[in-house]
């Protein structure tokens, strides 16, 4: 079946449909990773987005099965289901080869009602997104009805992906309260590996009656300005002086709670090879990233300082308080997929508990 990718500026890319036959609209972004498509597609930070993969061949190692008990401890994925709105690839492989694979990419997308399109010049599309910025788009099959463009950033995407009820993992001696704004499973796994108890709570949970040794603010999708209730909760948490560690969206929420501003990047950072420099040093960490917004470090109030910056474009990649145990990073120290250069940050956080 033929399909087309239509961008808000009127550009049309013709290709072949696979996955679901349901047309979908969202924000078109690109990811430069070479591997890790099952982890990327299930990352809640991609909610509302149509992802364009720059690596030319996708699907050759298939897809594993979700755990029957839906446990984030053993799962090979980053959430319970696919989070992206649609997929764009140059070529996808119907055949796969991997010891743990149980199905192919086409069937996995179809079963999760995710449309995809192949045969696209993904290099040209990526160049367009770099020049013009991320833009709205839709994947429409030739035989399907047309749909309107939908801007996911106008809604509170965090409310869509955040859990509805609290859940506790592990039985370690120290307790981490996880403000779950769409947390990747590997963040929870990374904490459990360090022998702590993790209590995950919804993004708008009343934290005033919770007992904890430290707080982790998770990643999540969309515009941090849509999460003012979470920002207010973080602001109250800071008055308790307990350790706080933010990751991705969590870093932005921490910054806004401190009084800083955030802004939308032209096309964001999405991939597994983003170089981040530790401020005040020449030390560089290769990191996994997935975000479209960033902290304006020039707006940080007194008592706060930049912690990391991106070696490619100089944007902020982390903040920390000068005297209190509050810090956050824009990249993903838990990786999955990607390098583990920054995994030591979990050790640093747990040591503060």
> Are 56 and 195 part of one and the same domain?
no
Q: Which of 40, 181, 183, 248 is catalytic?
A: 248
Check if the beta carbon of residue 85 is closer than 8 Å to that of residue 113. Answer: no
Rounded Cα–Cα distance for residues 22 and 42 (Å): 19
DSSP characters over 34-75 = SS-HHHHHT-GGGTTEEEEE-SSEE-TT-B-PPPTT--TTT-
Residue-level pLDDT at 226: 96
Beta partners for residue 275, in sequence order: 286
CATH number of the domain that residue 228 is part of: 3.40.50.880
- Looking at the DSSP bridge assignments, the partners of residue 116 are 18, 87
Is residue 124 located within the same domain as residue 229? no
Place of tokens 């199905």: 103
Task: Of 300, 285, 301, give the one whose Cα is nearest residue 340.
Answer: 285
Catalytic residue among 269, 291, 321, 332: 332
- On whether both 347 and 198 belong to a single domain, the answer is yes
pLDDT in tens, the chain (353 residues): 899 999 999 999 999 999 999 999 999 999 999 999 999 999 999 999 999 999 999 999 999 987 656 566 667 899 999 999 999 999 999 999 999 999 999 999 999 999 999 999 999 999 999 999 999 999 999 888 899 999 999 999 999 999 999 999 999 999 999 999 999 999 999 999 999 999 999 999 998 889 999 999 999 999 999 999 999 999 999 999 999 999 999 999 999 999 999 999 999 999 999 999 999 999 999 999 999 999 999 999 999 999 999 999 999 999 999 999 999 999 999 999 999 999 999 999 999 99
* Domain boundary residue, one of 88, 122, 154: 154
**Encoding tokens for residue 118?**
């192949």
Of 154, 174, 190, the position where a domain reaches its end is 154
**pLDDT the model gives residue 117:** 98
Q: Residue 80: which CATH number?
A: 3.50.30.20
Query: Are 13 and 138 in the same domain?
Result: yes
- What's residue 71's pLDDT? 65
Token reading at 52? 């364009």
What the block records as the tokens of 176 is 């981490």
120, 15 in Cβ contact below 8 A? yes
334 is catalytic: yes
Boundary of a domain, candidates 123, 154, 185: 154
Tell me the angle at which helices 228-238 and 249-258 cross, rounded to the nearest 10 degrees.
70
Q: What does the pLDDT read at residue 69?
A: 60
Same domain, 276 and 315: yes
Domain shared by 67 and 27, yes or no = yes
> In total, how many domains does the chain have?
2
**Residues 214 and 329 reside in one and the same domain:** yes
Q: How far is it, in rounded angstroms, from Cα 70 to Cα 66?
A: 7
pLDDT at 87: 98
Q: What is the pLDDT of residue 68?
A: 56
CA atoms within 13 A of residue 105's CA, in its CB half-sphere: 29
Point out which residues pair with 19 in neighbouring strands.
115
Q: Is 98 a catalytic residue?
A: no
Residue 49 and residue 135: Cα distance in Å, rounded? 10
Shared domain check, 136 and 13 = yes
63 and 115 inside one domain: yes
The reply to whether 276 belongs to the active site is no
68, 90, 113, 228 from 107: Cα distances, Å: 18, 18, 10, 39
Q: Tell me the C-alpha distance between 80 and 138, whole Å.
A: 24
- pTM for the complete prediction? 0.96
Buried residues in 163-185 as b, exposed as e (16+ CB within 10 A):
beeeeebbebeebbbbbbbbbbb
Structural domain containing residue 169: 158-352
pLDDT of residue 278: 98
The encoded tokens of residue 166 equal 């609290």
pLDDT, residue 70, reads: 57
Cα–Cα distance between 330 and 285 in angstroms, integer?
Answer: 13
- Residue 292: name the closest of 226, 216, 201 by CA: 226
């Amino acid at each position: 079946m033929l399909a087309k990718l239509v961008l808000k500026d009127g550009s049309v890319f013709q290709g072949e449909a696979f996955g679901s036959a349901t047309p979908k609209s969202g924000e078109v972004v690109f990811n430069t990773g070479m591997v890790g498509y099952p982890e990327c597609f299930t990352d809640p930070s991609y909610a509302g987005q149509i992802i364009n993969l720059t690596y030319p061949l996708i699907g050759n190692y298939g897809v594993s099965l979700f755990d029957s008990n839906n446990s984030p401890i053993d799962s090979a994925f980053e959430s319970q289901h696919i989070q992206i709105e649609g997929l764009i690839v140059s070529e996808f492989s119907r055949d796969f080869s991997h010891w743990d694979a149980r199905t192919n990419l086409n069937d996995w997308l179809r079963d999760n009602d995710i449309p995809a399109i192949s045969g696209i010049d993904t290099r040209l599309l990526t160049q367009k997104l770099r020049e013009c910025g991320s833009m709205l788009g839709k994947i429409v099959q030739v035989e399907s009805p047309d749909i309107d463009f939908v801007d996911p950033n106008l809604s509170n995407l965090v409310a869509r992906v955040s859990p509805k009820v609290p859940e506790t993992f592990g039985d370690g001696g120290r307790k981490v309260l996880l403000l779950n704004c769409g947390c990747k499973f590997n963040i929870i796994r990374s904490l459990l590996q360090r022998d702590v108890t993790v209590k995950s709570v919804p993004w708008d949970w009343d934290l005033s009656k919770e007992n904890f040794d430290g707080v982790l603010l998770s990643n999540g999708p969309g515009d941090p300005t849509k999460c003012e209730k979470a920002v207010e909760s973080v602001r109250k948490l800071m008055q308790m002086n307990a350790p706080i560690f933010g990751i991705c969206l969590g870093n932005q929420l921490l910054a806004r709670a401190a009084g800083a501003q955030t802004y939308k990047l032209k096309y964001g950072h999405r991939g597994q090879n983003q170089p981040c420099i530790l401020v005040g040093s020449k030390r560089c960490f290769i990191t996994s990233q997935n975000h479209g917004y960033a902290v304006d470090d020039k707006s940080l109030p007194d008592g706060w300082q930049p912690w990391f910056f991106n070696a490619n474009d100089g944007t902020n990649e982390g903040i920390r308080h000068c005297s209190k145990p509050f810090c956050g990073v824009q990249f993903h120290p838990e990786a999955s997929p990607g390098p583990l250069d920054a995994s030591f940050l979990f050790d640093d956080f747990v040591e503060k508990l």
